[in-house]
Structure 1
Amino acid sequence: MHAFLDWWHQQSWIELIGVITGLVCVALAAINNIWNWPFAIVNVALYIYIFFNARLYADMGLQVYLLCINTYGWYYWSRKPADETKVPVAQINSKQLLWSALTILIVTPFLGFTLIKLAPVLHYQPASYPYLDSFCTACSIVAQILMARKVLQNWLLWVFVDVIYVGVYIAKNLHATAFMYAVYVIIALLGFIDWRKDYQKQIPIR
């Protein structure tokens, strides 16, 4: 009990609030609820600060991007067809699959190299795990766009990248954030199952 209290007192309130808003937004997204987006916006705003302090600069930049894409997602989900209660779930198509792969292949080495070269120029401390961080960032960029467009397979990509993030955040002593991402893995799996059920309901019965 004493060890837990010591750990608790070492945690940042900003990180804990970020964890709570993060879990709420992903849980709401998993059940296809539009109110996930305002919680997501608060969450990424907090993590811009958290990741800057942790020297995870690619993740920090990702949060700035997510701030924009979350606003777009909120707008896109609100534009449901007149005869639908929600925007329909879609399957990934070959064009989306191609640009997803190209985005990850191009962004990862470019961002990783940039983080290494930029730190001394801007007098920042060297980035932690620049290429791994950049790979996760590239995957997250793709996954979030697919989620905003209600593509079912976004959840599978989130499962993959969140597992990697758990290890990264444990290594950086962001234990509350690592726990949040472990829960994200479970929620993403449940989200995939729930969205797949919604998609199957959309298929007309012949």
Structure 2
Amino acid sequence: MQEFFQQIARQFAQTSWLEWLGTLTGFLCVYLAAKQNIWNWPISIISVASYAILFYNAKLYGDTVLQFYFLSTAVYGWYYWIRRKEEKKKPIVKASKGQLLLCLLAILILTLSIGYLLDSKTNSDVPYIDAFCTSVSFVAQFLMTRKVLQNWLLWVFVDICYIPLYIHKDLMLTAVLYLVFTLIAWNGYRDWQKTYKNFA
């Protein structure tokens, strides 16, 4: 444990301005999303641009592609949240069991497909782990754009999965960020659940 904190201290000292930018804007956009603040979407654009470069350099190609997906969903989410607000519909919805099963199936298919591509076409040393985390994030992000309550449970799960992956890649500051993301995601789930119940 002491070695872990020493590595974090060294990482803070050696962290590039790009990782700092991605980390700070990443924290801010997730915090704002948990608070249902629409500004999470434009701020996320800065974060994903930073992390696209960082993850490419770390040979996390699934996560690199994921950043471009995040970019497109940021634009879509921004539009969708504005539209939902204007239409005065219930802001948060809950996925049915059938919809959740479809989400799990999508994660499985994406993991196998992306994992195969990363394993056969890139020099990634963690192709299927990268693919799994990327696939869960794809689905969680889509659910967030639709304001589906359970998106936060997927984020809690995948953020925990990402922590050892980023430690393995010597991205200690990012690993710490994802620990914080886990806490924010859990808090986001509780806050959204309260809002959902108030509209039920």
Same fold (TM over 0.5): yes
Matching of residues 58-97 of structure 1 within 5 Å: 58-82=62-86, 84=88, 88-97=91-100
Residue identity over aligned pairs, in percent, reads 48
CA distance in 2, matches of 1:30, 1:89: 12
**CA contact 1:48–1:64 (8 Å) conserved in 2:** yes
CA RMSD in angstroms comes to: 1.8
Correspondent of 1:103 among 80, 101, 106: 106
What is the aligned residue count? Answer: 195
- The residue matched to 2:84 in structure 1 has which SS? coil
Residue in 1 that maps onto 2:3? none
CA distance in 2, matches of 1:132, 1:7: 23
Residue in 2 that maps onto 1:40? 44
**CA contact 2:41–2:74 (8 Å) conserved in 1:** yes
Correspondent of 1:112 among 110, 115, 121: 115
How many Å apart are 1:117 and its aligned residue?
1.2
When Rg is computed on C-alpha atoms for both structures, the one with the higher figure is: 1
CA distance in 2, matches of 1:16, 1:45: 12
1:8-54 C-alpha deviation (Å, 9 max, x unpaired): 33111100110000000000000111110011111111111000000
Structure 1 runs of 4+ off > 6 angstroms?
2-5
**CA contact 1:166–1:182 (8 Å) conserved in 2:** yes
Unaligned runs of 5+ in 1: 120-125
Within the alignment, does 1:147 sit opposite 2:144 as a pair? yes
How many Å apart are 1:95 and its aligned residue?
4.2
- TM-score, length basis structure 1: 0.89
Unaligned runs of 5+ in 2: 1-5
Amino acid at match of 2:99: Q
**CA contact 1:87–1:150 (8 Å) conserved in 2:** no
Call closer, same or farther: CA 1:20–1:71 in 2, change over 3 Å: same
Call closer, same or farther: CA 1:199–1:177 in 2, change over 3 Å: same
CA distance in 2, matches of 1:81, 1:70: 16
**CA contact 1:79–1:87 (8 Å) conserved in 2:** no
- TM-score, length basis structure 2: 0.92
Call closer, same or farther: CA 1:69–1:87 in 2, change over 3 Å: farther
